Amino acid sequence: MTAKPQSVEDFHARLHEVSEGLPKRMRQCADYLAANTDRVALSTVAELATGAGVAPSAMMRFCQIMGYSGYSDMQQIFRAAVSSGLPDYASRISALRDRGADSPSALLAEFVDAGRGSLETLANKVDAAALDQAVAALAGAEMIHLAGLRRAFPVSAYLAYAFEKMGHPAMLHDGVGALQQAASIRIGDALIATTFTPYSDETVALIQTCVDRDIPVVVLTDSPLGPVQGASVLTLPVAEADVGAFRALSATHCLAITLAVAVGAAKSRAS
């Protein structure tokens, strides 16, 4: 048995190591756990399996692939992280729900609290070096292409607006009319793709097209693994706390505007 990760950071590092080549069900487990590590400490294996869309036995098997004897063994590192001071957003939101029932003002408080938690997590866990690399790659691009469908679309639409206001050439790939816009991407361009599990097939296909052509790609997503691996892909993970089955985009929008403004500043310095 492979030596088991001893911390949440080690856990994510192991996920990167084992992600490629996993069969479909195991990859579903990997993607879900990477995007929902805040749930592991307080969830049963059945609850996590349901979230990942697999059988509990598949989740147990994945725990063993990660080097643990079983789910309880894996869960210990996440419970230790919570007890050492990481925010327990699920408990705080649950308490708000219990006090407010169906009150709209209580629901607002839940979303505000979830957004605050997501922003705090982003600030504490962002990879500064990866962020610098992303800005450098985007600032050097002749055209920045933007892809994000369904829940991710507002992020890409905002980036298109921001780059237009800064005078940086940008193109929004919105899928209107089912038009294939991949042919518009040229060598020297770059792509910002926003997608969340389960990943949009159209967005994944566009990322893969860029990877095949060695075009820089920056991916904003909820999993550190990202939908596509490649030398030209830089993944910036961003976790959004949920309220019930709904997730706002507080942290994702914050990361997006950071990229846009940083790219604009970098181009101004270079001109």
Two tokens at 25? 């069900």
My answer on whether omega of the bond before 198 falls inside 30° of 0, hence cis, is yes
CA dist., res. 165 & res. 150, Å (int):
24
- Strands 190-194 and 242-243, sheet pairing: unpaired
Q: What are the domain boundaries of the chain?
A: 8-83, 89-123, 128-270
Evaluate whether the domain defined by 8-83 bears CATH number 1.10.10.10: yes
pLDDT band at 91 (very low <50, low <70, confident <90, very high): low
**Rg (the chain; Cα; Å):** 19
Evaluate whether the domain defined by 128-270 bears CATH number 3.40.50.620: no
Q: Which pTM was predicted?
A: 0.68
pLDDT band at 169 (very low <50, low <70, confident <90, very high): very high
Two tokens at 95? 């308490």
The answer on pLDDT for 87 being more than 50 is: no
What's the sign of the alpha-carbon dihedral 36, 222, 262, 111? negative
Instruction: Identify the pLDDT of residue 97.
Output: 55
The residue type of 214 is: D
Which residue, 109, 82, 88, 89, is CA-closest to 97?
109
Contacts of 31 (CB under 8 A, 6+ apart): 52, 197, 198, 223, 225
Residue-wise pLDDT for 134-144, tens only, equals 999 999 999 99
Which residue, 159, 132, 180, is CA-closest to 249?
159
CA dist., res. 14 & res. 64, Å (int):
12
Which residue, 202, 187, 193, is CA-closest to 143?
187
CA dist., res. 19 & res. 26, Å (int):
9
The answer on pLDDT for 106 being more than 80 is: no
Instruction: Identify the pLDDT of residue 182.
Output: 77
Report the first-to-last Cα separation within the chain, whole angstroms: 55
